Amino acid sequence: MLINEVSKTTGLTKKAVEYYEQQGFIHPEVMENGYRNYSYKDISMLKEVSMLRKLDIGIADIKSIVFSQDKCKALAEYQAKLEVSLTQAKVQYDCITHLISNGYD
């Protein structure tokens, strides 16, 4: 499958597809004419990466998840990091609320 078809199938831009290739998520066959031929495995990976990006997960964490032997465990580890971040954000929010309610000047 050529990149135009990949873009239509995945909803990703050509630039995004090329970026994910540079990041090592996919490895299309390079044909004699220099065009890339993307496999169904590449398409599946692009869809998975795209879904995780929509969850606002960074590339480094996505690599850890998709290349893990146990994806559920890797995703749970990311979830734990996210929970810590949420807790920190809640504490920060509460501090700001306290400052405002006490007339911070």
Place of tokens 């954000």: 89
pLDDT (tens digit per residue) in 61-105: 999 999 999 999 999 999 999 999 999 999 999 999 999 999 988
Specify whether the CB–CB gap between 1 and 15 falls below 8 A. Answer: no
Long-range contacts of 19-23 (CB under 8 A, 24+ apart): 20/45, 20/46, 20/49, 23/59, 23/63
| pLDDT tens sequence across 13-59 | 999 999 999 999 999 999 999 999 999 999 999 999 999 999 999 99
